[in-house]
Structure formats: structure tokens, C-alpha cells
Amino acid sequence: MSIIYQAEDIQMPSIKKREITSWIKEVAESYGKKAGDIAYIFCSDAKILEVNKQYLKHDYYTDIITFDYDNNNIISGDLFISLDTVKSNADMFNTTYEKELHRVIIHGILHLVGINDKGPGEREIMEAAENKALSLIKL
């Protein structure tokens, strides 16, 4: 079981992998889950649009796409993160790139533990979970 970080068609973001990995495990455990095999694939808007079209039949940009391979209480998945969208969201929400990247990184984990954000009232639940998780990060 491992958490890996890779970049596809874009430069790898400057993140503290050891600290981020510990944080991810802590957040998963707070939901009664264990972190299994998780791959973060940092990419461009062009790549995330390609993935969105190919696998989800969606023709739009997004900050993250989470492919969930969970097995009972072990969370696993591939998480594609568009660093272009993370940057534009940071500007739009008047926050730092680093904080927005951390928010998106944990957003995918929250999906893997079972939190959704598409239905009525779910966005608020996701935002509260993100804020709680962000308060735990030790960097």
C-alpha cells in the first residue's frame, strides 16, 4: 500500500510528500478508513479534459477527477489534478496556490471515504470536511 505522486505533461508541484502522505493517512483514519494504493497524477487542463472526455464523457475542465478503487475500509484510487485549474481557482477564490492545491489533494481523499458534492446540500458537507481536514495539515 502506497501513495505516489507523479506529473504528466506538466512540472511536478513543489509539495512535501512525506508530510502530505502522513496527512492523507490521518484524514482517512478519521473516517475509519486505511489508505491503500493511491496515485496522484498532476497534469494540465488539456490532459484533465482528455481524461474527462474519455472516461466520464464530460466535455469540461475540472480541478480533480477521482477514480475510486476502494475495497471495504481500504481506500484506493487514481486522482488526476489539473494544476492549471488549481492555479486559476486560487486566483478566483483569493487564496494561495499551495492552500488550494492542498484543498484539492484532500478533496479526492474525501471522495474516496464516501463524501459526495453533487447533490442537494452535499457541497456544504464537502466544504466543511475540507476545512476540517485542512486544519489537520502539519507542514
Q: Using an 8 Å Cβ cutoff, are 105 and 139 in contact?
A: no
Q: What is the pLDDT of residues 74-130, one digit of tens each?
A: 999 999 999 999 999 999 999 999 999 999 999 999 999 999 998 889 999 999 999
Mean pLDDT of the chain: 96
Q: How confident is the model at residue 70 (pLDDT cuts 50, 70, 90)?
A: confident
Q: Which domains does the chain have, with CATH numbers?
A: 3-134 (3.40.390.30)
Between residues 133 and 70, the one the model is more confident about: 133
Those residues with Cβ within 8 angstroms of residue 109's Cβ, 6 or more apart along the chain or in another chain = 24, 27, 28, 35, 38, 75, 133
State the pLDDT at residue 132: 97
pLDDT at residue 39 tops 80? yes
Mean pLDDT of all residues in 7-24:
96
pLDDT at residue 72 tops 90? no
Beta strand residue intervals within 1-139, DSSP E: 3-7, 34-43, 64-68, 74-82
